[in-house]
């Protein structure tokens, strides 16, 4: 879980430490453009983060990135393409909680092993989910909504960006802990989902911070809770799920950069260095913080440990909830 990782000084961490004193151009890498796979459609949060990051790296290093959107199967198609790529540092991808930590347990036939088929390079950022309702809803807070749900099992509807997403599984986890039964309404796109929660078609919606924040600021949606361990600085008045009676509850959607399995330790360390430098730039940091993300600056060993723990964590959530992608 983000923020609770046991730090281990692995071989890759030692290489990263040694590389930290070297310039990013210590060799003639890259010899050509760097392909950067985004396994989701253009315009979404993952795509925006990828373009912000690669643009900043390009400006500081002179490297040229070619961003390629390869959506499909919950992000599996794009990452499968990376798993087949040469380990020459000219093929990278952005992954996230869903396609790296959730999908291996959610899909029966996933075309990659997230730990064995990729090198974990750097975690970019993390952001909580936000539970919202329409601004004129009789639902005033999360505890009252859960009380109503307990009194009328299955009668209340919750919308999500899709089955098997972090948002969906976060609500499945909450149902399990609260001992309630809600009816899930998955949406293929954010526009219809927001329209339906505003119109009262679904009682609540849970989605990423960037997707709901503009509507909260416009006064059309009322936030009930965030899923992070602590309150979000950008929604400081909104309680966490943990504060609402579920101590220890925490879910987050994180984004990270991965490369093919055969990528050398030296290249991983170099890429980790330039990525973290880009994340420390005012332009990237402020842009990500403005959408409710927390920017991270960690080594590749942190990412590897995080990924292993997250895979196990979401596997248990899926098992308990019985969630499927259908």
Could you tell me if 18 and 110 lie in one domain?
yes
Q: Would you say residue 142 has pLDDT above 70?
A: yes
Could you tell me if 93 and 198 lie in one domain?
no
Judge whether 2 lies within some domain: no
Q: How many helices (H) and strands (E) does the chain have?
A: 11, 11
**pLDDT in the model for residue 210:** 85
Q: How far apart are CA 12 and CA 265, in angstroms?
A: 6
Range of the domain at 65: 11-127+253-321
Judge whether 229 lies within some domain: yes
Judge whether 294 lies within some domain: yes
Q: How far apart are CA 164 and CA 166, in angstroms?
A: 7
Task: Tell me the whole-structure pTM to 2 decimals.
Answer: 0.84
Domain ends where: 244, 275, 304? Answer: 244
Could you tell me if 264 and 208 lie in one domain?
no
Could you tell me if 43 and 101 lie in one domain?
yes
Could you tell me if 237 and 170 lie in one domain?
yes
φ and ψ at residue 37, rounded to 5 degrees: -85, 130
Judge whether 326 lies within some domain: no
pLDDT tens digit sequence for 295-325: 999 999 999 999 999 999 999 989 887 777 7
Judge whether 3 lies within some domain: no
Judge whether 6 lies within some domain: no
Let me know: does 207 contact 161? Beta carbons within 8 Å: yes
Q: Would you say residue 11 has pLDDT above 50?
A: no
Domain with residue 43: its CATH number is 3.40.190.150
Residue among 65, 72, 4 at smallest CA distance from 34? 65
Q: Number of folded domains in the chain? A: 2
Q: How far apart are CA 320 and CA 64, in angstroms?
A: 45
């Amino acid at each position: 879980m983000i923020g609770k990782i046991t730090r281990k000084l692995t071989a890759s961490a030692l290489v990263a430490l040694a590389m930290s004193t070297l310039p990013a151009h210590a060799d003639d890498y890259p010899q050509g453009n760097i392909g950067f796979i985004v396994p989701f459609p253009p315009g979404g949060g993952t795509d925006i983060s990828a373009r912000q990051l690669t643009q900043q790296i390009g400006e500081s290093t002179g490297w040229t990135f070619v961003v390629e959107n390869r959506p499909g199967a919950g992000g599996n198609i794009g990452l499968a393409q990376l798993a087949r790529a040469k380990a020459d540092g000219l093929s990278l991808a952005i992954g996230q909680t869903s396609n790296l930590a959730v999908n291996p347990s959610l899909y029966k036939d996933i075309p990659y092993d997230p730990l064995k088929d990729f090198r974990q390079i750097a975690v970019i950022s993390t952001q909580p989910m936000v539970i919202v309702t329409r601004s004129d809803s009789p639902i005033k807070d999360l505890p009252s909504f859960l009380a109503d749900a307990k009194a009328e099992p299955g009668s209340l509807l919750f919308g999500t960006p899709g089955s098997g997403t972090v948002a969906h599984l976060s609500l499945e986890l909450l149902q399990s802990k609260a001992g309630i039964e809600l009816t899930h309404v998955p949406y293929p796109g954010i526009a219809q989902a927001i329209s339906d929660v505003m119109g009262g078609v679904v009682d609540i919606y849970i989605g990423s911070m960037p997707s709901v924040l503009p509507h909260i600021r416009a006064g059309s949606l009322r936030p009930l809770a965030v899923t992070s361990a602590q309150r979000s600085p950008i929604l400081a008045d909104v309680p966490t799920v943990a504060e609402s009676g579920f101590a220890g509850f925490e879910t987050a959607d994180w984004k990270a950069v991965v490369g093919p399995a055969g990528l050398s330790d030296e290249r991983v360390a170099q890429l980790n260095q330039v990525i973290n430098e880009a994340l420390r730039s005012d332009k990237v940091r402020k842009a990500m913080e403005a959408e409710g993300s927390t920017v991270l600056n960690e080594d590749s060993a942190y990412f590897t440990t995080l990924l292993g723990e997250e895979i196990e964590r979401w596997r248990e959530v899926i098992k308990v909830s019985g969630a499927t992608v259908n």
